[in-house]
Chains A and B, each alone.
Chain A
């Protein structure tokens, strides 16, 4: 028996087992191979092939093809390469074609496929089309199967038994019930019959033999069918995007010409020996590896061809290892000169590297969709985006399971919103229930019945795929139609996507170009434009912000909130400690901050300030001198491996790559052995080897390569320059573009601390976005919660015709909805046009306007004036502010903490003993109490696995970084919430000129 027709959990919301566990089970049941046939997809193809290799099974690639609107399903098994390409096209047709029908659409694409079907009509059609079709008798003999078998015998077709299974093992049936309940939106408690309902699982060979003993041949024929399928997986090598030649030159010549042309643009006509040498070297390697067309395609994307045939460069920032290439720099794909900053080209390309390189490019976030649209349009049928497989994470799993149990949304949110982001790979073996009940943030949460049942089921759900989504920016372009390489479907927003996520695409050799959105490019564009509008000359092509003294000073002081890539609390602290605003140091600083490297950060600061240090070991030479002997960048791992353990460049690069993967443990073992062996051969002391290896292991997870950091540091410096010299324009652009590390609230506070005046929104003055000029920031209408895009356009359009004369005029011309009008009134945006009315009267006038509009039976020629409003008192000041806060999420004139004194009588007394944050430096070594507003926080685990937290607080005077050690965190985690005020008692300490506040106790400040 060869198990045909087995579905994995990639048959979404239906199957329950991963391809790996199916292979494992197949092996343990003594099968020689397995046919994985998920419904309408090949999502799990590469995992399946890999597991088959691991368990030494013969893989059969296949898929079930369903028909929309009917229950008919056929199973297609791939015989050879041609069959694979056909299957990809068939799945793509099923996913993208309207009115797909099994009767009409299969035959043209069924060459070299084995088709299994249990529908006699379909079998008839396929037999007439001369396809290889077999009757699918299912997993147990029944009446329908009997008829089908006789029918097949009449026509001389194969009739075979299939596993037709959704489950890997019987015990997964309750999980399957849950999946179905989630998919169908049901909510009821599972009964025993639900759990045990007739869903097939993969049984043993004996089971099938016994079941089908009455029909000899149906089991053994599966082997014959399987023997027809010799395909063991696609093998296309590296699939490069094609370049359509220009002017008859081939890709290599063209690239050479364009690179030199670009170099002259960058360095002037006299290129210098160093540049020429390096260009030649790079071009040689690129040619040798056949990547010329890839560079050219990327260049064409960056330099968009306009309708008139000329090209225009888009605002970009090349990122990732590609920034190490001089060719890329000369093609204007990247922004940092690799010669000047000594960037390691081999990190990007070397002849030994087997996997395709990737060039990642950031575009301004609001231009990115247009870029993608152009690329997908230019290469229609040959390009698609990479997808991501979204798996159930604990939070989503709990939410969905709880819904099935009928728990109300509010109760579910109360639990799930407090769960910190836990990735599926939680280390310990403890159950979800134990994890949750031990979470400090969930203390006091009622987790009684039915929660234990919910959590137990949700636990099983974690790690199963839920749906597929679009990768943020990965595009694949192929020389042949893309649906011959991989099935293509359409994402909900209409974009074509391939069925594989980035790792699978890489394994298939498909070269991905990452076109990502970056908010900070928008910030710099907007701020620069605002500056230029005021007549200030800012030539971006000759702009070297990293050489500006004032900018360097403000970076050294850590005044970089709002500046791309260097605004996080940890980064700002490090900048202060380092006290150096040098570009090179900033590149190091932004790379050294990574989860597992705290001790190296301290060491870096010490060495930077002149502390003595020695190389890691003598053999290492000077390769780490630039970074004070510390391993900072990803490629340092490779460098060290090459220098100490005689790794080749290719091996060293592979080691680096493995480190950033999630499932590295097994693969790392080989490298470890090799590294230790290599070092021993070089006569390095064993103790040193261990230390070195551990240091390399700190690059696990997040880490950066130097070209990437350098490329970003340039953008950081541009931002820092603008912040330093044009603060109002810059802060307005930061808030308008959104998506920074902090909330709008925090940026508004920062603007106020910078001495800028924050002007309330005003329908006669505000733009949609925030605007800044001359130390004044005007709140944009976008900041007001709940205004629709259409309404904002109406306001602007009407205002251009003629400015608003009165609130009545405004209401009449812009026709706001109720909540829009209310929000505008509450935030004070109408104050300037209603000169004689307070906000209570404005609200009344709005009600009056609606009343008149409602009761007007027909349109009138002349406007009916509103009746005189009653004399209503203005809202209390506190009510006014509270409404402003709820409409905007911040206050224009005050910090909420300032209102504390006004607010509560006890607050007044306590306020005298409270220390303002900007006065903390005078209290080093003391225990003080501060009133502060929680901005953001970062949870980390200590070495012993306990949870502690670094939180950022502010008041109207300054920002302070605080530390909550595990015991304190446990005690107060459940009261901490961003966007609230707290009284904190703790100890002030100083470290390299920066203050840290170690919190001992927390008290919530009640407002109202």
Chain B
């Protein structure tokens, strides 16, 4: 296990992967221990067209899946307890977990709020002992501190440790030794390999490549035939080669993002525009707080049948003015809302950021309107900072009830 690495040679990397199965359920069970031995479904309660957010292992076995309509989920799993999702709470739990991990490494990468962490413990042997010991210790700590029992796996790269964790779900641990990556992967079913899209999986089934080993047997040239440009990636994956680094989540982002999920999918233009206005308000606040302007506003729409469309609207010089952001967002919305289907989710992305020019206009006297509206925005921002970002906004016809619920969650 310990190879002598000298000079500038590549050091063998050790990547720990932690994964809390059904994270939302795990957190809820910590929050209310009476739920521990019950089947759980996490889904928005007040929405009769809502979708399942997460579910416990028992419910999964009954046939409940993420994204399934609540009614259907309740039908297949009659005994399950229904809970409303509390993303804020899960975020907090993620933070606490992260804190435990930070004691051992600064290189930690996590997903959204799904209970996944990659921890790079390469070279910390002298400080904390062998990586496997770190894994054991963290699990013990997390179990004690947070009451959550994560899976942990150890591998020489992110790919291997991820596959290993898929193997031991929902509880356990797995250590893949250096040099054994390929032989570890070879007998496993191809579906366990991360990073394949559905089409590729379909093709592999067609060619009867059922195990990762069968895929690994093909030369990169042969892989070119069905998979074209992806052949290199697939070849590396099938041999357990993965050089990607563990990225520390950057604090300095170059985009401003807001999102909104409609509890009940909707085709009501007013409701969607109201939700968008709320997102614009938050984005504007964030931009002005960072003293930045955006030159592009993007809208991601997810329709309730799963189709996602992304469209943008651009501005030449960049802006952080709320009314202008609003019209850019509406333009982008118009461009992506072309279908007759209901909307489930909407995301606002402001990118191509640049610093706001401190230069004032030479002939400011003529632009009294602009100055006035900037004053208003300033006042709105101070109110928002004090009473929450949705406390005040530009006039809207209709305040979406879903948005109110959301602000309840954040409050």
Report which A residues bind B (CB closer than 8 A): 185-189, 403-411, 444, 446, 448-449, 840, 843-844, 847-848, 851, 867, 870, 872-875
Contact = CB atoms under 8 A, between A and B. Distances in A.
B341 interface: yes
Contacts of A410: 305
B218 A407 contact: no
A847 B267 contact: no
Nearest to A404: B340
B208 A446 contact: no
Contact of B225 (A185, A449, A848): A848
A844 B207 CA distance: 7
Given A446-B69, A448-B49, A870-B218, A188 B267 contact: yes
Contact of B208 (A185, A847, A872): A872
B48 interface: yes
Contacts of B304: 406-408
Nearest to A447: B71
Contacts of A844: 207, 225-226
B32 to A, nearest CB: 28
A996 B210 CA distance: 47
B224 interface: yes
Contacts, number: 72
B305 A448 contact: no
Given A408-B305, A851-B228, A187 B206 contact: no
Contacts of B222: 867, 870
A408 B71 contact: no
A187 B226 CA distance: 41
B37 interface: no
Contacts of A406: 265-267, 304, 340-343
Contact of B268 (A189, A840, A867): A189
A825 to B, nearest CB: 9
A187 B218 contact: no
Nearest to A838: B208
Contacts of A848: 225
A187 B341 contact: yes
A407 B225 contact: no
Contact of A843 (B72, B207, B303, B341): B207
A875 B208 contact: yes
28 contacts: A187-B267, A188-B268, A188-B269, A189-B268, A405-B342, A406-B265, A406-B266, A406-B267, A406-B340, A406-B342, A408-B342, A409-B305, A409-B341, A410-B305, A411-B305, A444-B75, A446-B71, A449-B48, A840-B206, A840-B207, A844-B225, A847-B226, A848-B225, A867-B221, A867-B222, A867-B225, A870-B218, A870-B222
B288 to A, nearest CB: 33
Contacts of B305: 408-411
Contacts of A446: 69, 71-72
Contact of B341 (A185, A407, A448): A407
Question: Which interface residue of B203, B207, B264 has the most chain A CB atoms within 10 A?
Answer: B207
Nearest to B266: A406
B72 A873 contact: no
B206 A407 contact: no
Contacts of A444: 75
Nearest to B218: A870
Contacts of B266: 406
Nearest to A851: B225
Interface of B is mostly: mixed
Contacts of A448: 48-49, 71
Contacts of A843: 206-207
Nearest to A410: B305
A691 B69 CA distance: 56
A873 B208 contact: yes
Interface in B206-246: 206-209, 217-218, 221-222, 224-226, 228
B267 A405 contact: yes
Contacts of B224: 851
A658 B69 CA distance: 51
A186 B340 contact: yes
A847 B225 contact: yes
Nearest to A845: B225
Contacts of A847: 203, 225-226
Nearest to B226: A847
A820 B66 CA distance: 35
A976 B342 CA distance: 30
Contacts of A411: 305
Contacts of A874: 208
For the complex of A and B, the 4 pairs showing the least CB-CB separation, nearest first, are A406-B267, A408-B305, A187-B340, A406-B342
A403 B72 CA distance: 22
Question: Which interface residue of A843, A847, A874 has the most chain B CB atoms within 10 A?
Answer: A847
B189 to A, nearest CB: 14
B342 A407 contact: yes
Contacts of B209: 872
Interface in B60-78: 69, 71-72, 75
Contacts of A872: 207-209
Nearest to A849: B225
Given A406-B340, A872-B207, A875-B208, 16 more contacts: A187-B341, A189-B267, A189-B268, A406-B304, A406-B342, A408-B303, A411-B305, A448-B49, A449-B48, A840-B208, A843-B207, A844-B225, A847-B225, A847-B226, A851-B226, A867-B221
A979 B340 CA distance: 32
A404 B340 CA distance: 7
Contacts of A840: 206-208
Contacts of B48: 448-449
A979 B289 CA distance: 63
Contacts of B341: 187, 406-409
A622 to B, nearest CB: 64
A404 B268 CA distance: 11
Nearest to B344: A408
Contacts of A408: 303-305, 341-342
B267 to A, nearest CB: 3
Contacts of A188: 267-269
Contacts of B264: 449
A189 B203 CA distance: 43
Nearest to A866: B225
A412 to B, nearest CB: 10
Contacts of B225: 844, 847-848, 851, 867
A185 B340 contact: yes
Contacts of B72: 446
A847 B222 CA distance: 11
Interface in B63-98: 69, 71-72, 75
A403 B226 contact: no
A409 B225 CA distance: 36
Interface string B178-220: 0000000000000000000000000100111100000001100
A844 B205 CA distance: 12
A534 to B, nearest CB: 41
A142 B265 CA distance: 43
A704 B269 CA distance: 55
